[in-house]
Structure 1
Amino acid sequence: MLNKKVNYQGKESTWGYFIFLKVIKLAHYLTSKKEKLDFIKPEYEIERIDPYDIRQKILNISYVDWKQLGFSKGTLHYMKQNAKSDKPFSLNAHVLERVSKWESLVSGQK
């Protein structure tokens, strides 16, 4: 997360660097080197990968199949909770890869 890009004061930076700058500004404010402290929020975007078909795949995966792909029951439980909700969610690339791998395993068994 700290390496994700964010726009701040017209420049693209990482969250880590943005937080570093804010800490320095806070330290200067607390030590009376600066009289003002800005509370400008950076602009950021989150890419979401949660189309309907991905949600359905997640809901259809059994815990046994998921374990055979090398994931824990807890990971699938968490993903199923997200898939059931109406809120958007994102998947890590390796998780999305395994969901696709599961789909090919299932279609190969038919």
Structure 2
Amino acid sequence: MNARPLNSSIGGMIVHHEDQPGISRARHDRTRTRAAPTETRRHHADRIATVEQLGQSLTAISLAAVALRQGGDVGDAVSLIGLAVEEARLELKRLRYDAERDAG
């Protein structure tokens, strides 16, 4: 509570009361509301990174297939395809885990 005298010939005071718990709650809500979009952006950025990784794995498989068609080393191509498929499988597993966590 704050009180301040009036500077007038009739006198009087201005009394002001602040609801501190209400102000604290409002500040907390404002902070949480501001943080929510940041968390959402981070979550979407993580998913985009995973999708980009899947794209890179598919590109590696595609390049290995082209190399095979052009008479490249079969062993190298098969190894590259195997690694790319394993990376893609792990990324898909991560996406599925994230989706299940978000749903639950």
TM-score by length of 2: 0.34
Q: Which one has a larger percent helix, Structure 1 or Structure 2?
A: 2
> Scaled by the length of structure 1, what TM-score is found?
0.32
